[in-house]
């Protein structure tokens, strides 16, 4: 058996501790599969004396992750610190410049600096692996980099954030408010004290930016992703979706179009009968549409120490076996410039919820605004929330704004947004209208 692959691990949080445990528990198995032992010779974290539930005896301690990254004793550096800049970026750059292989789970770092880091790795002839950066334990990076390398990918989409999926699933299954579901997610550790990064859609956007590059051979460009979070989703939207045969999910969608790449993150209504609608809790799902293999759907744990550690370990195994490939599939010198498709040109059906004042001519004015933008209405229903139905709670007060739900035929994003803005400016509604896309899914997502 060959000499060990020596590793330095920076960051010993949930994932880092899980990785150390995995490497210790499956030591013999990993050595057999890699053809050589995997040996952790250096570690670094904020606190040396913190109890982590894993044995660190005999492993050199480094106060400075950058020093660990450059140390002559390691061949591969594992970055599990997090953050798009600062010490995480400094340490990864230092390791690559020193000719060390790098494994990272840092989607924020890759979304911001992925191209320059990939270029540096190519110049040094070392690996930059990041399976754990997107969808935790789901092997979506390997699927795009290896399994589908011979295919032309047309679209990548899915549920990429467990926190949002947990909140929306709880609202749907337990008929609870957004605030209640978020509070429970925080108590269970799915959401941070400040959940903005997750519920605002930014975590999903970072991951989608990476998938977009791998799928379409473009430069990573997080700034080109259109982002909308789930903060505005209400119980009324969840109820309406259920009654109409849909469920609401936060989706990341990247598609190749005639006008360029369309990359967007937003809540979407998906058919109840689709596999992606059945993905509940903190689980993730990624669908890939390609020309020769048609549609693939990958479902599994999107976060968590053990699942993410498993993904990190798979990257380490590749390095131990001597597998080094361009980090972004396409070599950086051949990456295409990101050409953004105009989101306003996106076509689809839409759900629109309006809180309409009970005034003569209000509905006629709303219909006119839709007609002015050539938005055709498939259906329109006045709804009462379940809390206001007989036998459940109080009825709506006389004169209170009526809850009106409309489903449009296919139209453009630009047209529906302009129509809704005009309705709001007319003063016919008591609150900002809610607009949710009704997403068409691939054939492979049918249950």
Q: Which residues are catalytic?
A: 207
How many angstroms from the chain centroid is the CA of residue 241? 22
Give phi and psi for 143, each to the nearest 5: -60, -45
Which tokens in the block code for residue 326? 């361009």
Q: For residues 252 and 211, what is the distance between their CA atoms, to the nearest angstrom? A: 10
* Contact criterion met (CB below 8 Å) for 134 and 193: no
Which structure tokens are listed for 160? Answer: 């990429």
Q: What's CA 60's distance to the chain center, in Å? A: 35
């Amino acid at each position: 058996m060959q000499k060990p692959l020596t590793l330095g691990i920076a960051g010993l949080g949930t994932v880092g501790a899980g990785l150390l445990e995995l490497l210790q528990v499956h030591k013999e198995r990993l050595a057999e599969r890699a053809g050589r032992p995997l040996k952790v010779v250096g570690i670094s974290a904020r606190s040396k004396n913190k109890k982590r539930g894993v044995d660190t005896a005999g492993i050199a301690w480094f106060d400075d992750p950058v020093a660990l990254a450059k140390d002559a004793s390691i061949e591969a550096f594992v970055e599990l610190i997090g953050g798009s800049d600062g010490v995480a970026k400094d340490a990864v750059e230092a390791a690559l410049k020193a000719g060390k292989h790098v494994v990272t789970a840092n989607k924020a770092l890759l979304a911001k600096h992925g191209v320059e880091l990939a270029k540096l790795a190519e110049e040094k002839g070392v690996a930059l692996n990041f399976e754990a950066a997107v969808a935790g334990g789901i092997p979506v990076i390997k699927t795009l980099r290896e399994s589908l390398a011979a295919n032309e990918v047309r679209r990548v989409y899915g549920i990429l954030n467990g926190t949002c999926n947990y909140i929306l699933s709880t609202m749907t299954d337990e008929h609870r408010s957004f605030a209640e579901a978020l509070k429970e997610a925080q108590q269970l550790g799915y959401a941070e004290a400040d959940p903005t990064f997750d519920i605002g859609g930014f975590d999903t956007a970072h991951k989608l930016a990476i998938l977009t590059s791998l799928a379409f051979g473009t430069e990573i460009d997080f700034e080109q992703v259109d982002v909308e979070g789930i903060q505005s989703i209400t119980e009324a939207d969840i109820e309406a979706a259920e009654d109409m045969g849909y469920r609401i999910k936060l989706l990341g969608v990247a598609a190749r179009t005639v006008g360029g790449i369309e990359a967007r993150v937003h809540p979407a209504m998906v058919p109840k009968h689709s596999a992606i609608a059945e993905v509940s809790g903190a689980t993730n799902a990624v669908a890939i549409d390609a020309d020769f293999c048609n549609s693939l759907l990958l479902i599994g744990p999107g976060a968590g120490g053990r699942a993410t550690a498993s993904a990190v370990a798979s990257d380490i195994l590749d390095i131990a076996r001597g597998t080094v490939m361009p980090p972004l599939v396409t070599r950086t010198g051949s990456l295409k410039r990101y050409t953004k498709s105009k989101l306003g040109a996106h076509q689809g059906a839409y759900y629109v919820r309006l809180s309409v004042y009970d005034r003569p001519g209000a509905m006629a004015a709303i219909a006119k605004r839709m007609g002015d933008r050539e938005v055709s209405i498939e259906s329109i229903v006045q709804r009462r929330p379940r809390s206001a139905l007989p036998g459940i709670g109080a009825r709506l007060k006389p004169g209170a704004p009526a809850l009106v739900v409309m489903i449009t035929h296919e139209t453009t994003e630009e047209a529906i947004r302009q129509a809704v803005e005009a309705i709001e400016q007319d003063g016919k509604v008591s609150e900002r209208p809610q607009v949710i896309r009704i997403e068409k899914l691939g054939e492979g997502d049918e249950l």
